A and B are shown apart, each in its own frame.
Chain A
Amino acid sequence: MKAIETCDLKKYYRSVRGIDGVSFSVEEGDFFGFIGPNGAGKSTTIRTLLGLIEKDGGEARVFGLDAAREKEKILTRVGYMPSDTIFYSGMRVREVIELSAKLRKKDCKKAAEELCERLDLDKNKKVEALSFGNRKKVGIVCALQHSPDLCILDEPTSGLDPLMQREFFNILEEKNREGMTVFLSSHVLSEVGRHCRSAAIIRNGEVIACDSVRALGHTGVKKVSLSGFKGEIDLDGARDIKREGENVRFLYSAPPKELLSVLSGLEFSDVNISDPDLEEVFMHYYVKEGGAK
C-alpha cells in the first residue's frame, strides 16, 4: 500500500495558487524527500494531507484513506512536525508532551522519556523560554513519541545545531528501519540527498520530478570538472560554469559521445565526469522548466 498518494491535487487561496495539480506517491517504509524552494507548495501539500486545509480539486490519500473525509483515522497513524513549532504559552515542556499523548489517547511516557534524553531536552522549562531549536526538539518528541506509521516533517532541522541534526536523523533512520515511513519536506538538498531514498521536486505548485534519489541524478546532465585548463569554455549545452584558477566546473547537457568529442579538442591535465549532486539536479529541473528565480 502507498503511504501517501496524491493525484492532480489543487488548492487556491482565493485566486492565488497554492498547488496546481500535485501528483506523487510515497511507498510504505520509504524515506521520502519533498524538495522545493519557499512558496513552491510544499506546506500547502502537507496541510492538505493532514486535513488542515480543504483541497479545491484532485485526490489526496494517506494509507488509502481520503485525507478530507477520514482525517481522524489518518492522524492516529501520523506524526507531524511543523516548520514553525508553537505551543501553548505558560505550559512546561512536560505538559505539552503529555497533552499531545493524551490527545492521542496513548501512554507514551517511556518513548517520550527516551526521546527527551537523546535530544537533551529539559522537560521542566516553560515553552516560551525555549530557543527556536529547543522548540523544534519538543516538536520532534510530539511527532514521534506515539510511534507513528508515517512521520511528516516540514523543514525539521532549521534551528537545530549540527550535533542535534545528526542525532535527529539517527532517530529517524532507526524508526524508518522499524517500518515508519518518513516524509521530509526540505529545501536543504544535502540532507535530502544524504538520507532519502526517493524524492519529489515541486515547482510553482506542480511536482516536476518524482523518483528515487539515484534515478533523479540521471538527468542526461553530467557534471564536468577540468583541472589544468587555461582556455575558455565556449560550448553549446554548457552552463553553471565555475572557475577557480585553472580548475573549471560546469554542467553539460548533450549526448555523451558529443561531450567526449568536444573534450578531446581541449587542453587540460585531468578530467572528472560524474552525475550531478541533488542540488545541481534541482537547479537542472528549475532551469529546464524555466522556473529558476
Chain B
Amino acid sequence: MTLYLHELKRGRLSLIIWSAALSFMILICILIYPEVGSQMDEMSEMFANMGAFSEAFGMDQLGFGDFLGFFAVECGEVMGIGGAIFAALMGISALSKEEKDKTAEFLLTHPISRTGVVFSKLTALLTQILILNLAVGVITALGILIIGEEPDGKKVFLLLLSYLILQVEIACVTFGLSAAIRSKGIGIGIGLAMALYFLSILANITNELEFLKWITPFTYTEGAYIVENVSLDWKYVAVGAVLTAGGIVLAFLKYRKKDIL
C-alpha cells in the first residue's frame, strides 16, 4: 500500500495535466457542437463520400450532423490518440524509471518483493487511467447537459468504455516492456501508441490489410460499430484482453529476475 500511494503521489501532476487537457478538449468539442451541428448536416454527406479517407476514420458510417456521430469521431480522436499516448507514457516508464532515475537500488533494498513492486505499480497505473477516464466522463456528461443534447446514454457510455479498455491494453503492454528495458522508453511508448493508431487507419482503408484489425486496439473503439450495434466488438476486445494479460505476465516474469545494475 505504501508503494501504491507513493506511485500515485509521484504521478499526480502528470495525471492532473493530462486529465485537464483531455477533459478540456472534449468539453470544447461538445460545446462547439450546437454551432457546427447545423452546418454539419450539409457537410456530413461530403464527409461520408471522401472514399478511403472517410473509411479510414469511420465517417462513411457515422453521421456528422448527429451528436453521437460527431462525438464518436471528434471525441474518439481526442480520447483515442490522447488517451493512448497517456497510457503508453505511464506504462512504459512505470518500472523502468526506477532504473533510469537510479532509485531502484533504494526501493529494492527495502523488504518488499519484486512481485509486490510490480503489483503496486500496476494497480497505481490502472488507478491513474481510471481517474483520467472518470474525469473525462464527468466532463462529457456536464458538456452534454450544457448543450441540452439527449443522446443515448448507453452509447456514450460504451464509447467512453472502449477508450478506457484501449488505454488499459496499451498501458499493460507497455508496462510489460517497461520491465525489460532500463531507459525510460518514452520514444518506445509514444511510437507504439502512434503505430497502433496508424495500423487501425490502414486496416480501414484497404481490405488487404484488414488483418491488422486484430493487432490494433483502436479497432474496438470504432464509433461506427459501437453506435450502430450498441455494443463493443467483443471479439477484438477479447484479443486485446489476451495482449493485456500478456503484458502483465511479462512484467511479473521479467521483473522478478531482472538484475538491478
Contacts and interface: CB of A to CB of B under 8 A. Distances in A.
Nearest to B110: A103
A62 to B, nearest CB: 12
A160 interface: no
B106 A72 contact: no
A53 B260 contact: yes
Interface string A70-88: 0111011010101011111
Interface string B14-38: 0000000000000000000000000
Contacts, number: 61
A102 B110 CA distance: 10
Contacts of B3: 103
Interface residues of A, number: 29
Given A53-B261, A76-B111, A99 B105 contact: no
Contacts of B2: 99, 102-103, 105
B113 to A, nearest CB: 5
B150 interface: no
A87 B109 CA distance: 13
Interface string B59-90: 00000000000000000000000000000000
Contacts of B257: 54
B255 to A, nearest CB: 12
A86 B112 contact: no
A84 B261 CA distance: 12
B208 interface: no
B41 to A, nearest CB: 51
Contacts of A242: none
A54 B258 CA distance: 8
B110 A100 contact: yes
Contact of A82 (B105, B111, B113): B105
B101 A52 contact: no
A72 B101 contact: no
Interface string A23-60: 00000000000000000000000010011111000000
Nearest to B106: A87
B109 A88 contact: no
A138 B104 CA distance: 16
A86 B101 contact: yes
Nearest to B109: A80
B111 A47 contact: no
A102 B2 CA distance: 7
Given A52-B109, A75-B111, A104-B111, A89 B101 contact: yes
Contacts of A52: 104-105, 108-109, 259-260
A86 B103 contact: yes
B154 interface: no
Interface in A86-111: 86-90, 99-100, 102-105
A261 to B, nearest CB: 54
Best-buried of A71, A85, A86, A88 by chain B (most CB within 10 Å): A88
What are the nearest 4 A-B pairs in CB distance? A103-B110, A75-B111, A53-B259, A52-B260
19 contacts: A47-B260, A50-B108, A50-B109, A53-B259, A54-B257, A54-B259, A71-B113, A75-B110, A86-B103, A88-B103, A88-B106, A100-B106, A102-B2, A103-B3, A103-B107, A103-B110, A103-B111, A105-B2, A142-B106
Given A47-B260, A53-B261, A90-B10, 15 more contacts: A13-B259, A52-B109, A52-B260, A71-B113, A75-B110, A82-B106, A82-B109, A84-B102, A86-B105, A86-B106, A102-B2, A103-B112, A104-B110, A104-B111, A142-B106
Interface of B: 2-3, 6, 10, 101-113, 257, 259-261
